[in-house]
Amino acid sequence: MRDQINQALKHALKNRDKRRMGTLRLISAAIKDRDIEARGKGKEAVDDAEILQLLQKMVKQREESAAVYAENNRDELAEQERAEIEVIQEFLPKPLTDEEVDAAIEAAIAETGAESLKDMGKVVGVLKSKYPGRIDFGAASKSVKAKLNG
């Protein structure tokens, strides 16, 4: 994943794509910050799973910022945030469709033998391990809760 981001940055530099270059530099800087933090904890560097979480967090931050900007009639800033989201999302796995999420939830419930709300954590844990970055776990948790409630 790190290599993909570096290649995209090199390509943006060659094409003089300033907006893309800026976003990719932000991503690289955030990864380097995480690497430094990891070294302080005795790890070599962050892995792809942690980079994925970082990218998801960056998207969420930009979505929130874009909403605030749009609310305050700062359309040019909201558009800039949305453009950054598009660049970041290129490195995220394709999200599952609603039907695929439902099927994944059913499979996780069957796999864990979940029968009540007490088992909700097991089901969500299975989903997180099998589909990192591909499911909105806030919405999935509600769906799991509804299915386990009867």
Question: Are 121 and 142 found together in one domain?
Answer: yes
Question: Are 117 and 135 found together in one domain?
Answer: yes
Question: Are 61 and 42 found together in one domain?
Answer: yes
Instruction: Provide the domain limits for residue 131.
Output: 98-149
Question: Are 129 and 63 found together in one domain?
Answer: no
Question: Are 58 and 108 found together in one domain?
Answer: no
Distance of CA 145 to the CA centre of its chain: 22
Q: Match 């994944």 to its residue by tokens.
A: 104
Question: Are 63 and 8 found together in one domain?
Answer: yes
What is the count of structural domains for the chain?
A: 2
Are 31 and 46 contacting, i.e. CB atoms less than 8 angstroms apart?
A: yes
Give the number of C-alpha atoms closer than 13 A to the C-alpha of residue 47, restricted to the C-beta side. 2
* Encoded tokens for 23: 């976003």
pLDDT at residue 8, rounded to an integer:
94
Q: Match 């380097």 to its residue by tokens.
A: 32
Q: Is the pTM of this model over 0.75?
A: no
73: phi > 0 → left, psi -120 to 50 → alpha, else beta; which?
Answer: left
Q: How far apart are CA 24 and CA 90, in angstroms?
A: 11
Stated as kind and residue range, the H or E segment containing 62 is helix 48-71
pLDDT at residue 10, rounded to an integer:
94
Question: Are 34 and 75 found together in one domain?
Answer: yes
Question: Are 83 and 17 found together in one domain?
Answer: yes
Task: Show which of 70, 89, 108 is a domain's final residue.
Answer: 89
Task: Show which of 89, 120, 135 is a domain's final residue.
Answer: 89
pLDDT tens-digit readout, 43-91: 888 888 889 889 989 999 999 999 999 999 999 999 999 999 999 999 9
Question: Are 123 and 143 found together in one domain?
Answer: yes
Task: Show which of 68, 89, 110 is a domain's final residue.
Answer: 89
Question: Are 8 and 68 found together in one domain?
Answer: yes
CATH code assigned at 45: 1.10.1510.10
Using only the alpha carbons of the chain, give its radius of gyration: 19
pLDDT tens-digit readout, 16-42: 999 999 999 999 999 999 999 988 888
pLDDT higher than 90, residue 134: no
Question: Are 45 and 117 found together in one domain?
Answer: no
pLDDT at residue 13, rounded to an integer:
94
pLDDT higher than 80, residue 133: no
